[in-house]
């Protein structure tokens, strides 16, 4: 079973929109956290990833920060995270 996915985003960010589209199209369940409207989410993202860029995906103890669809696809395949 794949760990729960958390996707840290800025709602206007084109890379975040692409990441959500990628995950939605493939049937992944994830929690979306808007780091601009939720200060605690922003702080968590920075603590987990060491940076302030979005999108940032957290899956268990794995973190993928500041990525596009190709990196997201490789990350999910490499870590064997499937749709939930």
pLDDT in tens, 35-51: 999 999 999 999 999 99
Look at residue 84 and tell me if it is in a domain. no
Cα–Cα dist 19/54, whole Å: 10
Q: What's this model's pTM, rounded to 2 decimal places?
A: 0.93
Look at residue 26 and tell me if it is in a domain. yes
Q: Residue 35: give its domain's CATH number.
A: 3.40.30.10
Distances (CA, A) of 28 to 6, 45, 54, 80: 11, 20, 18, 13
pLDDT at 35: 98
Judged by DSSP in three states, 56 sits in strand
Instruction: Give the structural domain span for 30.
Output: 5-78
Look at residue 83 and tell me if it is in a domain. no
For residues 3 and 81, is the Cβ–Cβ distance under 8 A? yes
Residue bearing tokens 């589209």: 21
């Amino acid at each position: 079973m794949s760990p729960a996915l958390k996707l840290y985003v800025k709602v206007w960010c084109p890379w975040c929109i692409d990441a959500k589209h990628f995950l939605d199209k493939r049937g992944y369940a994830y929690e979306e956290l808007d780091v601009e409207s939720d200060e605690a989410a922003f702080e968590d993202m920075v603590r987990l990833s060491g940076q302030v860029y979005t999108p940032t995906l957290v899956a268990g103890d794995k973190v993928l920060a500041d990525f596009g669809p190709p990196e997201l696809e490789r990350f999910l395949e490499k870590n064997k995270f499937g749709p939930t």
